[in-house]
Structure 1
Amino acid sequence: MNPVTSTDELLFADEKEFETVAHEPKPWKILIVDDEEEVHTVTRLVLSDFTFEGRGLEMLSAYSGKEAMELLKEVDDIAVVLLDVVMEENHTGLDVAKRIREELNNPFTRIILRTGQPGQAPENKVISELDINDYKQKTELTAQKLYVTITTALRSYRDLKTIETNRNSLLQLAMSVAHQIRNRTMSIAGFANIAVRELSAGEDATSHLSTIRTEASRLEALVASVSDYASLTRGIKEHILLKNLINEAYTAAEKQLAAKNIALADVATMTVTVDDFMIETDKGLFVRMLEELILNAVVFKKEHCHITIAASPLNEGCILTVADNGVGISSEIISFIFDPFFSSLPDGVGMGLCTVKKIVDEHGWEISVVSSEEHGSTFEIVIPVCSSSEPSTEEST
């Protein structure tokens, strides 16, 4: 069944029916460090309309090395520092660059040195001795070159942060897997020992053997879920109509539930408000992400599940909202819902929303959730890159 043409399961609403809280993609933070006010003014003017991956800039200013270090200590997500060499002293900028790496232990922020007096800090010496990312004379840094320099620096910062996020996720996953396996194997070993004793005594050990089988099955499901999670890697992004992706996610969710003898149309209805909206995404990952959100809504429904999927333009991107009328999430556990193996269900594996978060991170997007018990949940995903170019897949018919 094609969900686009089915008025029973999937309803397409007019865009005016949907309202969302305005969200803005988080801007890239740039710190301008220079003792000349004119440099700050010109830099802000040149970069006023700069965007990278649909995100603009938030430009912070410091007029001395001391001010720069204070800001860097307070703000932990500064992507790029445009750093003057000569300020309070001839080598203040070099000292700041060294302190960023060593004192603040910050390997992520990209450092671009700018100097009007190149003789004070020879380029070859600075590049070889300091962990900086670029070195420019102020006279050569035209508007176009500044654009290129900032774009290159932001791309490098983004990639480093993605690697760090993946590393932390892998560490958390490994710890969670170890904990889950330990619990299952201890349970299996414990009931096996009890079964051996009871069988030796001629007693019925059927219930214990049944428990062992159940725990082994859960262990197998755990290993399968970890393998599936590990296989989620970013592929090739395409420009695709969001409506097409929703159709495919709906079909995928149907198949998942059908394997459990559940008809999606019997337990849920969906209202979709997306127009002919196009996004740039990895098709397979996006479908999987939306499928998991649909299944999550169905699993935690109260009676009949109603899911609302909507998208609205947001600068150069969009905000995608998936809302349901389910049991909601309590304030005590909402901060854990994206953790590996976290589930409020006794037989849940707990990797669905964790998978959603990984896919969001793989794209460099942002996800948030608002929920209250008995009133359902609303997931919002800020997608900063959107294009109106022709889709690379066939349009809905």
Structure 2
Amino acid sequence: MRIGVLNDGSGPYSDLSGLRSMAAAQLAVEDFNASSPGGEPPFQVEIRYADHQNKADIGAEIVRRWVDTEGVSAVVDVPNTSVALAVNEIMRDRDRVFLGSSVASSDLTGPKCAATTVQWTFDTWALANATGSAVVADGGDSWFFLTADYAFGQALERDASDVVRRSGGKVLGSVRHPLGAPDFSSFLLRAQSSGAKVIGLANAGGDAVTAIKQAREFGVLNEGRSLAGLLVFLSDVHSLGLETAQGLRLTEAFYWDLNERTRDWSRRFAERVGGSMPTMNHAGVYSSVLAYLNAVAAVGPTAGGTRVVDRMKETAIDDPLFGPVTIRPDGRVIHAMYLFQVKPPERSSQPWDYYDLVSTIPAEKAFRPIEDGGCPLVK
């Protein structure tokens, strides 16, 4: 049984996924093996890795080779929506499983849904709904977006704009920037000149880090203006430092210090990767691979991807990291989400102690209603 971990190994998303996702997948295999009767797994599992370089054609070429000639039965992770949508089609056509554990676009469980795809960790609707509604309720009722100029950023801006308007706010404009932009000064000045109270960051990884740093440096956040990080990861806060990131509100599906189970697993992970605590992407890789392997064990390793995903959907899962988990017919994994605020430096008591929990969004409210997604699998 071969599983391919596909992500950004050297670009703006390498810290939030990257090679550390391999460690998360390996931990899932080890825990699956240990839980097998007599400690003897029903099949051997091999993990492969490749860097898609944030290019859909490269990612597609890798996955075709994996599936067609190397016997890979599942692909996991895949931050970068453009790459993920290409992978989604390939795996659907070949009846193999796509565990989109780091894919943001809510289209993956909407018009692009597939019977072989599971979207595990988060999506643009969930992120926008939690952060956007909370910021508007706090008085941030006019927004300007800095948007990554590809499918992910556009989906995040769309979903956040809908939430802002639905909550009674206004969207005053947006500007799109290329992936990996080194200089956000012109984009930030346009946001400042719009008069918006909130600059919404519809980007992630290195782009979000650069935008937040430069917004502080250039004084863009004066006059009551604030940033809303619509997809900010623990690794981003670590890169920024608490002095720069303090006060930022963000939505995540996982935090290492939530409870005893998340702490225990995160410490195991950190030991493997040189001390870094996991992002929610790493947690999503672990949990989705573990659930996948349990489903394969139930239906047999020769079963097609549709049958394996059907088994995952039939099973109520008590996941060690995400808690009670169910998988809807559209492939959307349902679990709680969390609204956090970054602590000031003086309130951090240990390494990686970065977040205060503001509120928990219960599973039944955290994700888009299934009837609103437009997934053709939903009758």
Q: Which has the larger Rg?
A: 1
Q: Please indicate, yes or no, whether the TM-score normalized by the shorter chain is above 0.5.
A: no
Instruction: Name the TM-score, length of structure 1 as normaliser.
Output: 0.27
Q: With structure 2 as the length reference, what TM-score do the two structures score? A: 0.28
> Quick one: higher RCO (CA 8 Å, sep 6+), 1 or 2?
2
